[in-house]
Amino acid sequence: MTSRRILVLNGPNLNLLGTREPEIYGTATLTDVEALCARMAASHGLQVECRQSNHEGELVDALHEAAASGEVLGVVLNAAAYTHTSVALLDAVKATRLPVVEVHLSNTHAREPFRHTSYLSPVAEAVIAGAGVHGYGYAVDLLALRHLRE
């Protein structure tokens, strides 16, 4: 089957977007992010599947399911705090071999030192940080354009 879908996968606390530390993360909600991703994907004739979990294993399962489906052309992944701690997500990204664009709303390198290390960046196709919710749109665009080149 032809890959026609992008998975947008969000980690812990991103369900609180719009109310959680708006001075850092902005006022857009997760629903706003999902709508932006859907519009960007549609502009390329693609669809998105959006998932959010506060549980590491559910994020790993989502990556496994995406790869097994054969329909997902890439993943926009904001692993949130798991970015800096999760070997399990690193291994899942490596195992699935799906192109992943790592996204962060804030510039993690301008924040606390522990946020400067990402377990995912070494296996991500690209990293977008500090662009706010627009970073998600850029990530969808990048994956769509990559798909069109194949």
Q: Which has the closest alpha carbon to 11: 63, 66, 48?
A: 63
- CATH number of the domain enclosing 131: 3.40.50.9100
d(CA 150, CA 147): 5
Q: How many domains does the chain have?
A: 1
Supply the range of the domain harboring residue 119.
5-149
pLDDT in tens, 10-43: 999 999 999 887 777 778 999 999 999 999 999 9
pTM for this prediction: 0.91
Q: Is 25 part of the annotated catalytic residue set?
A: yes
Q: Which of 25, 82, 119, 136 is catalytic?
A: 25
Please say if the pLDDT value at position 1 is more than 50: no
| pLDDT at 110 (0 to 100) | 61
Q: Is the pLDDT of residue 2 over 80?
A: no
Which residue of the set 44, 55, 64, 104 is catalytic?
A: 104
Query: For residues 44 and 24, what is the distance between their CA atoms, to the nearest angstrom?
Result: 30
> Model confidence over 51-97: pLDDT tens digits?
999 999 999 999 999 999 999 999 999 999 999 899 999 999 999 99
Q: What is the pLDDT of residue 115?
A: 67
User: What secondary structure does DSSP assign to 92-127, as a single string?
Assistant: HHHHH---EEEEESS-GGGS-GGGG--SSGGG-SEE
- Give the bridge partners for 9, in sequence order: 51, 77
**CA distance to 26, 91, 99, 115, 148, per residue, from 74 (Å):** 26, 16, 5, 24, 12
- Is 138 labeled as catalytic in the residue annotation? no
DSSP 18: T
